[in-house]
Structure 1
Amino acid sequence: MTLPSDVQDRLTCVANLLARPDQLDGVRIRCCAELLRTAVERSVARACGAENADQPVHALLIALPSHVDSDVAQDASQLWHALRRAIRHHGYELTPNVAELAGWHAETAAVAAALSSPLSPIPSPNLSLSGTIDPS
């Protein structure tokens, strides 16, 4: 499964920065988290069919379970919130470390791949007029 170029470019950029962990300071780590966050946002927007819309990400995350598997939607939501916290941390909080960033990179790649795969429709049961499930 190939990812959209804008998402893949962000993942590649972060991977290149992760290849030189000694050069990652607080600012670069936050920049990497921002790149990963936007990759998640673009993947979520595509999965919801809102690629060019200016819809808030919170609204898209709420709508996401109706477009993809609920576990994938939950993973995307948790990852987006973690990345958002990493970008907007306060001075008294610890800056995310390189290991956390590497984990977020792997999770972003997995979530983006899961969001880009089509959802197979779940068959609905046939209900008879008596209210029982028809096995056919």
Structure 2
Amino acid sequence: MTLPSDVQDRLTCVANLLARPDQLDGVRIRCCAELLRTAVERSVARACGAENADQPVHALLIALPSFVDTDVAQDASQLWHALSRAIRHHGYELTPTVAELAGWHADTAAVAAALRPNLTPNLTLSGKIDLS
């Protein structure tokens, strides 16, 4: 199953930057974390049916278990909070490492895929809708 283009574009951009780890400095790592966080936010909004709404992400994360499996919702929430901390770290804190960024990239791809709707309506000859 493919991801929406806006999410896939962000994952591809981060993957391209991860391919050249010697060029990743603190600013670029934070930019990658921001791209990944935005991908998580868009996936969560889609899963909650709030693509065009200006709802706060915290509210969407609270509502997410109503729409998807609780474990997936918890993974999405933990990932979003980790990426938020990476973006807004203080100067006296260590910058996230390239290995952490690569892990977040993999986690974002997994969470985005898990948040994709997996129900596809199939019409039967009797006119009933089979959600499978």
**Do they fold alike, i.e. is TM over 0.5?**
yes
Note the aligned Cα RMSD (angstroms): 6.5
Aligned partners of 1:126, 1:15: CA distance in 2, in Å? 36
* 2:19 alignment counterpart: 19
Shift in Å at residue 23 of structure 1? 0.1
Given the two structures, how large is their TM-score scaled by the length of structure 2? 0.87
Aligned partners of 1:43, 1:134: CA distance in 2, in Å? 25
Deviations 1:103-123 (A, max 9, x none): 0000000000000xxxxx999
Aligned partners of 1:53, 1:75: CA distance in 2, in Å? 23
Q: How many residues align?
A: 131
**Gaps (5+ residues) in structure 2?**
none
Question: Residues 30-109 of structure 1 correspond to what in structure 2 (within 5 A)?
Answer: 30-109=30-109
Deviations 1:51-78 (A, max 9, x none): 0000000000000000000000000000
**Gaps (5+ residues) in structure 1?**
116-120
Aligned partners of 2:83, 2:67: CA distance in 1, in Å? 22
Deviations 1:65-107 (A, max 9, x none): 0000000000000000000000000011100000000000000
Q: Which has the larger radius of gyration?
A: 1
Aligned partners of 1:87, 1:16: CA distance in 2, in Å? 19
The percentage of counterpart residues that share the same residue type is 92
Stretches (4+) displaced over 2 A? 121-136
Structure 2 CA distance for partners of 1:23 and 1:60, relative to 1, 3 Å? same
Structure 2 CA distance for partners of 1:129 and 1:14, relative to 1, 3 Å? closer
Shift in Å at residue 130 of structure 1? 35
Structure 2 CA distance for partners of 1:50 and 1:17, relative to 1, 3 Å? same
Q: In the alignment, is the contact (CA less than 8 A) between 2:48 and 2:64 conserved in 1? A: yes
Shift in Å at residue 11 of structure 1? 0.1
Structure 2 CA distance for partners of 1:75 and 1:129, relative to 1, 3 Å? same
Given the two structures, how large is their TM-score scaled by the length of structure 1? 0.85
